[in-house]
Structure 1
Amino acid sequence: MPLGYKRSYQRVRAYLHDKRTSPRPVTARPPSPRAVTVWILRHPDTLTESEQLQLNAVRRHYPELDALTRHVRSFATMLTSRHGERLPDWLDAVRQDDLPSLHTLAAGIDRDRDAVIAGLTLPWNSGAVEGHVNRIKMIKRQMFGRAGFQLLRKRDLLS
């Protein structure tokens, strides 16, 4: 006895037609984790109205993301306005919330708290030095391991 469907083609066609034309509930796709991350890390004034509404909806549904957003934004304010003296209060606030990844960050900051406070407060930085170190490392990588000190020195002085 052969296997298969014993009814007519028209019956299958009618069944599929009903399925294809029946209204489906319209639901908005949730934003991707990358999009939410970008919204949290950007300055609130640079978000479009749509992005702001979506971020607010996500923050209402996920209290841990709301706490994370508050901590990230307060740290960004502290960083951009050079208020390193606020760091101990920020660390205490982070420890009060149940955010393990921020607890790890807080523990790392605590290991060298004075240096971090100085970095967040003082106007000086080592950006120029780090730029030169990065350039020398790039030259060394370009030379595929042939960069002895003499050759690296000569190439650095010529560039």
Structure 2
Amino acid sequence: MGYRGKATMVRQLVRPWRSQATIALPPPSPPTVRQAAGWFLRHPDTLEVDEHQHLQILTAACPALAALREHVRAFARMMVRLTGDGLEQWMKRVQADDLPELHSFVAGLRRDFDAAKAGLTLPHSSGKVEGHVNRVKMLKRQMYGRANPDLLRKRVLLAD
């Protein structure tokens, strides 16, 4: 806006700043625990390319995380394919590794092994019932302190 000088003069004045800008950038920050957990729990096909690369670097840097990744994937395969017959072998493999967090998960599965195996084997689901329970609780919260049980009953029966 009104500068009548030459472009070379501007280049000479800006050159020192450009040389400072080419100094090595700091390394990218490591992923947060939430990001890493998301990468572990999502299906590998849904990961973006950079997320997959970060996950590869993370598991290469830490053998415990690589083992955790394999155990999580194996359990997810059991859930999706309903192959709960392999649950006992999976739990033995987890116990063989030094992963205390998964050890507590396995201990919880052992407490009610029959139910866990049935949940990973049978095609039945309680999702529809849980949805209705959630809906009734929501209706009850909406009416807290304002109506008697008869009105709640009518709302539950008439609500879609």
TM-score w.r.t. structure 2 length? 0.80
Once residues 58 and 34 of structure 2 are traced to their aligned partners in structure 1, the CA distance between those partners, rounded to angstroms, is: 13
The 1:158–1:104 alpha-carbon spacing in structure 2 relative to 1, beyond 3 Å, is same
Which one-letter code corresponds to 2:89 in the other structure? D
Matched, 1:70 2:70: yes
- Give the CA deviation at 1:110: 0.6
The 1:147–1:67 alpha-carbon spacing in structure 2 relative to 1, beyond 3 Å, is farther
Aligned residues: 142
- Give the CA deviation at 1:25: 5.5
5 Å-filtered alignment, 1:4-15, equals none
Matched, 1:94 2:80: no
The 1:125–1:61 alpha-carbon spacing in structure 2 relative to 1, beyond 3 Å, is same
Which one-letter code corresponds to 1:83 in the other structure? T
The 1:157–1:36 alpha-carbon spacing in structure 2 relative to 1, beyond 3 Å, is same
Once residues 137 and 64 of structure 2 are traced to their aligned partners in structure 1, the CA distance between those partners, rounded to angstroms, is: 40
Matched, 1:42 2:42: yes
Q: CA RMSD in A?
A: 2.1
Once residues 25 and 151 of structure 1 are traced to their aligned partners in structure 2, the CA distance between those partners, rounded to angstroms, is: 65
TM-score w.r.t. structure 1 length? 0.80
1:140 maps to which residue? 140
2:117 maps to which residue? 117
- Give the CA deviation at 1:121: 0.7
Once residues 77 and 112 of structure 1 are traced to their aligned partners in structure 2, the CA distance between those partners, rounded to angstroms, is: 20
| Deviation readout 1:87-124 (Å, 9 max, x if unpaired) | 00111111111222111111111111111111111111
The 1:96–1:147 alpha-carbon spacing in structure 2 relative to 1, beyond 3 Å, is farther
Per the alignment, in what secondary structure is the counterpart of residue 98 of structure 1?
A: coil
Once residues 68 and 129 of structure 1 are traced to their aligned partners in structure 2, the CA distance between those partners, rounded to angstroms, is: 33
- Give the CA deviation at 1:145: 3.8
- Give the CA deviation at 1:57: 0.7
5+ unaligned residues in a row in structure 2: which ranges? Answer: 1-15
Q: Kindly indicate whether the alpha-carbon contact (under 8 Å) linking 1:140 and 1:147 is maintained by their aligned counterparts in 2.
A: no
Which one-letter code corresponds to 2:54 in the other structure? Q
Per the alignment, in what secondary structure is the counterpart of residue 101 of structure 1?
A: helix
5+ unaligned residues in a row in structure 1: which ranges? Answer: 1-16
Which one-letter code corresponds to 1:111 in the other structure? R
1:51 maps to which residue? 51
State the identity %: 50
